[in-house]
C-alpha cells in the first residue's frame, strides 16, 4: 500500500466534519498516487460510504462533493437528498445542496466521482474536471473553482463515525483524581497551611505569562472565587484583542471574605503578542523574574524597564523574586499557535531556566476544546483529545507533560462547581510544589557556597 499524505489541511477536514456530525475522514483514493483513471478510483472506493470527494485545481481552489451513496459501476443514478457540492473561501466551507435528489450521483464505470450532471472529478482519464452549473446542483462556477478545470490532485475520503466511547476516551484516567468535596477541602487546607521552605519568604510568588485572551486574569479570579466561596472578579478580565492588563499586578489570595492572606501571590503581566513591538517585552520579563519590578508598574511595550523608575528594586531579596513561572495557554489554540509566539515562549523559557526557576503550563478552556469534557469535567483525564493537546503544549513550550495542568475558569457561571474547583486548586498545589523545588535548589546553592568559603 503506497503511503498517502492527505492534501486536505486539518482545518479544512474539521470544517467538513463539522457539517457531518461526530466524524473523521479516512483517505481512500488519491489520483497522484493511484492514477487519474476510473478503474483506480472504483478499485479504491466502490461500496464504501459515505464519502467526500475533493478536487484541487491549478488556481488553488479546493472543491468537491459529499454523498451517502456507495459508489458502483451500474450506470444508474442514485438518490441522495443530503448530497451537496462545496468549495472553500479561506477556511470557510460554502455548500451547494442537491436540487434534484433523484439525480444526486451517477455510478459511471468510465468516470470518477460523478455528481448529477454538475460535477465530475476524474473525467476521461485525465486530470480535468467536467462541470455544468445549470443542472441538479445550482452553483456559481466562478466561486466554486474559478472556472479552472485542470486538476493537480483529486482525493476521496470515507466518512467514519467517531463513537464517543471507542475513539475519544481512555478506559482508565491517565491521572487519578478524587472528584468529591472532601478532596476539594483537602486541597484548600494544603494551600491555606502551606509554608515556604525558607523562613524569610512568607508567600510563594508565581508569575502568570501567556498570550492575550487566554484567561490569565480569569484564572486568578477563579481561584480567588474558590476561596471566597462565590464567583468574584477582582482582576480585570474580558474579551479583547489587546491586553487588558497593562500593569504588573500582584494579587494575593485571601481565605474567605475577611480571611487572612494565603501563602501565595499570583503576579499578572500584560499579554504576550506575536509581533515584536507589542505586548510584553522579553527584557521586562527578566526584570520581573529577578524581582526588580514594583507592583502596579506600568508597562511600556516601546521601551523596557528603566532602572531609575520609581519603585525599581535594585537589590531584590529572595521574597521579591519569582519562584515559579506558569505559562497560561488556551487549549483551543495550541495547534494553531503562531511560530512567533512559540519563539517568544522559548526565549522566556531559556531565561527562566538560566535563573533555575521551575515552570508549569496551565491549560485553560479545556471544556471548550473537547465535547466530552464539556459534558462532564471529570472526563478531562480520560479524553484522548485533551491528552493530545497537552502533549502538543509540552512540545511547543518545551515542558514535560507532568508539568501541564488543565483547568476551567469561571467565566460564565455564577455558582461554584466542585469539579471545577478541584482542577483550579490542583493547579495552585502544583505551583506551590514547584516553588518548593526552587527553595530547595536555592538552599543547596547556598550551602554549597558556604562550604566553599
In a domain? residue 2: no
The residue among 162, 196, 225 that closes a domain is 162
In a domain? residue 280: yes
The residue among 162, 182, 205 that closes a domain is 162
The candidate with the shortest Cα–Cα distance to 368, out of 355, 380, 356, 358, is 380
- Whether residues 423 and 308 fall in one domain: yes
- Whether residues 140 and 247 fall in one domain: no
The residue among 162, 186, 220 that closes a domain is 162
In a domain? residue 4: no
Q: What is the pLDDT of residue 242?
A: 43
Q: CA-to-CA distance for 391 and 399, rounded, in angstroms?
A: 10
Contact 26/49 with Cβ under 8 angstroms?
no
Largest CA distance in the chain: 93
Dihedral sign from CA coordinates of 288, 293, 298, 299? negative
Query: 3-state secondary structure string, 1-63?
Result: CCCCCCCCCHHHHHHHHHHHCCEEEEEEEEHHHHCCCHHHHHHHHCCCCCEEEEEEECCCCEE
Q: What is the pLDDT of residue 305?
A: 65
Compute, in degrees rounded to 10, the torsion defined by CA atoms 407, 409, 413, 417.
Answer: 40
Q: What is the pLDDT of residue 240?
A: 42
Domain span including residue 267 = 167-452
Neighbours of 251 (CB within 10 A): 20
- Whether residues 150 and 186 fall in one domain: no
- Whether residues 120 and 171 fall in one domain: no
- 32-39 contact pairs (CB < 8 A, 24+): 32/152, 32/153, 33/2, 33/4, 34/2, 36/112, 36/122, 36/125, 36/126, 36/127, 36/151, 36/154, 37/122, 37/125, 38/108, 38/109, 38/110, 38/111, 38/112, 38/122, 38/125
Instruction: Give 10-residue mean pLDDT values along the chain (453 residues).
Output: 83 88 87 93 95 96 96 94 92 91 92 91 80 81 92 94 62 93 97 94 94 87 92 61 59 83 88 66 84 72 66 88 96 81 91 96 93 91 92 93 96 90 98 96 86 76
Radius of gyration of the chain (CA): 28
Q: At 277, which CATH number?
A: 3.40.50.300
The candidate with the shortest Cα–Cα distance to 177, out of 419, 383, 434, 384, is 419
Q: Which three cell numbers stand for residue 114?
A: 460523478
> Helix (H, G, I), strand (E, B), or coil: what is residue 297?
strand
Burial class (CB in 10 A: 0-12, 13-18, 19+), 42: buried
Q: What is the pLDDT of residue 354?
A: 95
Compute, in degrees rounded to 10, the torsion defined by CA atoms 263, 318, 424, 388.
Answer: -160
- 302-308 contact pairs (CB < 8 A, 24+): 302/277
In a domain? residue 128: yes
- Whether residues 75 and 171 fall in one domain: no
- Whether residues 33 and 81 fall in one domain: yes
User: What is the number of structural domains in the chain?
Assistant: 2
In a domain? residue 92: yes
Tell how strand 324-330 and strand 359-364 pair up.
Answer: parallel
Amino acid at each position: 500500500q503506497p503511503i498517502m499524505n492527505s492534501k486536505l489541511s486539518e482545518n479544512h477536514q474539521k470544517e467538513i466534519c463539522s457539517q457531518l456530525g461526530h466524524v473523521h475522514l479516512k483517505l481512500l483514493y488519491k489520483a497522484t498516487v493511484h492514477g487519474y483513471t476510473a478503474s483506480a478510483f472504483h478499485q479504491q472506493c466502490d461500496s464504501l460510504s459515505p464519502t467526500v470527494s475533493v478536487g484541487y485545481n491549478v488556481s488553488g481552489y479546493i472543491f468537491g462533493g459529499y454523498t451517502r451513496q456507495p459508489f458502483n459501476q451500474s450506470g444508474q443514478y442514485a438518490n441522495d437528498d443530503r448530497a451537496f457540492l462545496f468549495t472553500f473561501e479561506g477556511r470557510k466551507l460554502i455548500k451547494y445542496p442537491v436540487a434534484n435528489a433523484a439525480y444526486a450521483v451517477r455510478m459511471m464505470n468510465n468516470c470518477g466521482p460523478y455528481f448529477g450532471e454538475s460535477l465530475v472529478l476524474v473525467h476521461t482519464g485525465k486530470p480535468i474536471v467536467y462541470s455544468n452549473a445549470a443542472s441538479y446542483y445550482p452553483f456559481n462556477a466562478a466561486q466554486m473553482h474559478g472556472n479552472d478545470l485542470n486538476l493537480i490532485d483529486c482525493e476521496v475520503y470515507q466518512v467514519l463515525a467517531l463513537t464517543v466511547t471507542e475513539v475519544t476516551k481512555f478506559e482508565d484516567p491517565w491521572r487519578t483524581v478524587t472528584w468529591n468535596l472532601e478532596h476539594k477541602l483537602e486541597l484548600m487546607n494544603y494551600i491555606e497551611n502551606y509554608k515556604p521552605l525558607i523562613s524569610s519568604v512568607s508567600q510563594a510568588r508565581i508569575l502568570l505569562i501567556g498570550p492575550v485572551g487566554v484567561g490569565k486574569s480569569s484564572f486568578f479570579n477563579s481561584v480567588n472565587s474558590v476561596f471566597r466561596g462565590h464567583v468574584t472578579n477582582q482582576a480585570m478580565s474580558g474579551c479583547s484583542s489587546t491586553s487588558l492588563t497593562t500593569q504588573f499586578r500582584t494579587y494575593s489570595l485571601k481565605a474567605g471574605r475577611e480571611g487572612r492572606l494565603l501563602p501565595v501571590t499570583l503576579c499578572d503581566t500584560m499579554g504576550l503578542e506575536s509581533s515584536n513591538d507589542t505586548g510584553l517585552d522579553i527584557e521586562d520579563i527578566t526584570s520581573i523574574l529577578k524581582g526588580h519590578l514594583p507592583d502596579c508598574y506600568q508597562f511600556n511595550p516601546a521601551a523596557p524597564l528603566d532602572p531609575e523608575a520609581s519603585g525599581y528594586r535594585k537589590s531584590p531579596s529572595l521574597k521579591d523574586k519569582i519562584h515559579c513561572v506558569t505559562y497560561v495557554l488556551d487549549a483551543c489554540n495550541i495547534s494553531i499557535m503562531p511560530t512567533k509566539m512559540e519563539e517568544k515562549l522559548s526565549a522566556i523559557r531559556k531565561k527562566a531556566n538560566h535563573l533555575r526557576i521551575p515552570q508549569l503550563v496551565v491549560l485553560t478552556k479545556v471544556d471548550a476544546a473537547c465535547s466530552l469534557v464539556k459534558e462532564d469535567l471529570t472526563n478531562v483525564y480520560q479524553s484522548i483529545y485533551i491528552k493530545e493537546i497537552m502533549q502538543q503544549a509540552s512540545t511547543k513550550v518545551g515542558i514535560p507533560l507532568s508539568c501541564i495542568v488543565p483547568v476551567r475558569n469561571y467565566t460564565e457561571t455564577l455558582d461554584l462547581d466542585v469539579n471545577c474547583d478541584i482542577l483550579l486548586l490542583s493547579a495552585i498545589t502544583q505551583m506551590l510544589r514547584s516553588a518548593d523545588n526552587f527553595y530547595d535548589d536555592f538552599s543547596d546553592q547556598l550551602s554549597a557556597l558556604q562550604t566553599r568559603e
